[in-house]
Structure formats: structure tokens, C-alpha cells
Amino acid sequence: MFQSLHRAPLYVCMLLLLMVSNSAQASVFDYPRDANFRVIEYSQSHQMILNADPIPMLRIYGNGRVLVHFPVYMKRAGDYEMQISDIEVQALLTLLEEKGILKFSNIELTKIKEQVFATRQLIEPGKVVLQRSDNSHSRFNIKLDSYIPGLSLIPQYEFNKEVVMKNLRFDARSNPGITQLQNAADAEQVLRGFLSHRDLRKIK
């Protein structure tokens, strides 16, 4: 599984996260193993930046090719790439599933919003807290030919899940008791690990 010792911290993190997961029945993720099918995409957008770069920061393709892009206004501006194995792509998908990225629904959204508000009122009664002034959005996009969740018999063809979360890490830190936020932030942290991976080679 480990193509390079350099990746050890990233994958140890992934394994630890997977160990605590419910693995009664493994899910099935089916996707073309080719260089043109984007399986996982992660990006961030900042509403203060008007000349935002639309290219996603992280793209992982069906053949395991990882592309990282930093806009011209960032310190590490340019495009980078590295290669991971099919097992590693599967492990990432399993991680995203376990951390709830593939399952978020609008009902969960409403519950989480109310939970954040209730927690805030409980901890600091009478205090008015504005989380932050200028928002950033984390965007996860997972595409599969088919997806069968572990405890389900119902396949989902042409699975395409896009999840956009506002100020994810900030909210996770501010609300340590909200499990869904912690899980989503964990998933983001693993994907962001690719952005500074030692195996990345600059290609442009």
C-alpha cells in the first residue's frame, strides 16, 4: 500500500481513521481506472478574492493520478502531480464515506445548524458571537460509475455528490462536540495533506 515512506504519515492517519469505522460490510465504489475520469475533487474558495481561480486545488483521477493546483496569488503557485495506487484511491473513498461526506443531506444540515446555535447559547449565555466576517467554502466532489453503500442493497449509478461547507475547520474548532463537523474536518485534513505532499512534482 505504501509506495513511499514519505507518505507514511498521511496513510497512517487514514488507517487510524478507518480502524474506528464500522466495517460490517464494505461499500463498493466503481469507477473507470483511466486518466480522464475525476473521482475525487477538493477545492476552496474565498469570498474576499474576486479574481478567484476556478481550477480545483486537488484532483484525483481513476488511474490514481493526483493533480494539485495553486493559483498565481498563492505562495506555491503552479501545478504539481504525484501517483497513488488503486487501493489508495479506494481507501480515500472509504474514508470520505466514513466521515460522512457521501451521506450529507439537507435534513442533517438543518440539525447541525441548530446544534451549533444551541451549543453556543449553552456555553456563552448572553454573549453574541459572530463566527467570522469573510467566509471560505470547502467543496468536495466525488464521482463514481456506481456506489453501493455498505449496509445497502441499492446501487447508485452515476453517483455524483457535491458538498459545500462554509468555514469548515473554523466551525469544527469552535464546536468540538458536534461529531459531524469533526468528521468532515478530518476528511478535509486528509485531502489537504496531498497539497503539501513530499512526492509532488512541479509540472507547470
Partner 1 sequence: MKRFNKHFLLFSAAIFSRLASLSAVLIVQMLVLVPSCYAGAFIFASEDEGVIKGNGVDVIAHPASYDGVGGVLTVGVCIDPASVNTQDDTFKITDMEISVQNIVDTFNKRTITTGNLFLDGNNNIPAADFDFESVALHEVGHCLGLAHVNASSESFSAPPNNAAEAALRNYTKATNGADDIFNFAAGADGIIGSSDDVRGDDVNLHWFNNTFNDPFQIDNPVDSTTYSRVLSNLPAGDVYATNADRNVATLFGFQNTESIMQQGTVSDEAQRTLVADEIATLRYAMSGLDEIAGNADDYTLNLEYRGITTANCDITITLKPDPGFAFCSPAGFFVGPPADQHISIATATIVVSDVFNWFFNDISAVVDGVPDAFSFADVLDLETTNIVVSSTIVVTGMTNSAAVSVVGGEYRINSGSFTSVAGTVNNGDSVILRHTSSVDFSTSIRTTLTIGGESATFTSTTKGSSSGGGGSLHAVVVLILLGLIWVKSYRRKNWI
The distance of closest approach from Cβ of residue 75 to partner 1 in the complex, given in angstroms and rounded to an integer, is 4
- For residue 174, what is its C-alpha cell? 469552535
**Residue numbers at the binding site for partner 1 (CB under 8 A):** 25-26, 28, 30, 44-52, 72-77, 104-106, 108-110, 112-114, 116-117, 124, 126-139, 146, 148, 153-171, 181, 188, 192
Residues 12 and 195: their CA atoms lie apart, in Å, by 17
The distance of closest approach from Cβ of residue 37 to partner 1 in the complex, given in angstroms and rounded to an integer, is 16
Q: Could you write out the DSSP letters of every residue in 5-33?
A: GGGHHHHHHHHHHHHTS--SS--EEE---
The region, left, alpha or beta by phi > 0 then psi within -120 to 50, assigned to residue 131 is alpha
Three-state SS at 110: helix
Q: Give the nearer residue to partner 1 in terms of CB position, either 4 or 76.
A: 76
Beta bridge partners of 157: 146
Q: Give the nearer residue to partner 1 in terms of CB position, either 1 or 26.
A: 26
Residues 120 and 127: their CA atoms lie apart, in Å, by 9
Residues 131 and 191: their CA atoms lie apart, in Å, by 24
The distance of closest approach from Cβ of residue 113 to partner 1 in the complex, given in angstroms and rounded to an integer, is 6
The distance of closest approach from Cβ of residue 133 to partner 1 in the complex, given in angstroms and rounded to an integer, is 4
Q: Give the nearer residue to partner 1 in terms of CB position, either 20 or 50.
A: 50
The distance of closest approach from Cβ of residue 164 to partner 1 in the complex, given in angstroms and rounded to an integer, is 5
The distance of closest approach from Cβ of residue 20 to partner 1 in the complex, given in angstroms and rounded to an integer, is 20
Q: Give the nearer residue to partner 1 in terms of CB position, either 61 or 140.
A: 140
Q: Give the nearer residue to partner 1 in terms of CB position, either 19 or 128.
A: 128
- Burial class (CB within 10 angstroms; exposed 0-12, middle 13-18, buried 19+) of 81: middle
Q: Give the nearer residue to partner 1 in terms of CB position, either 36 or 133.
A: 133
The region, left, alpha or beta by phi > 0 then psi within -120 to 50, assigned to residue 152 is beta
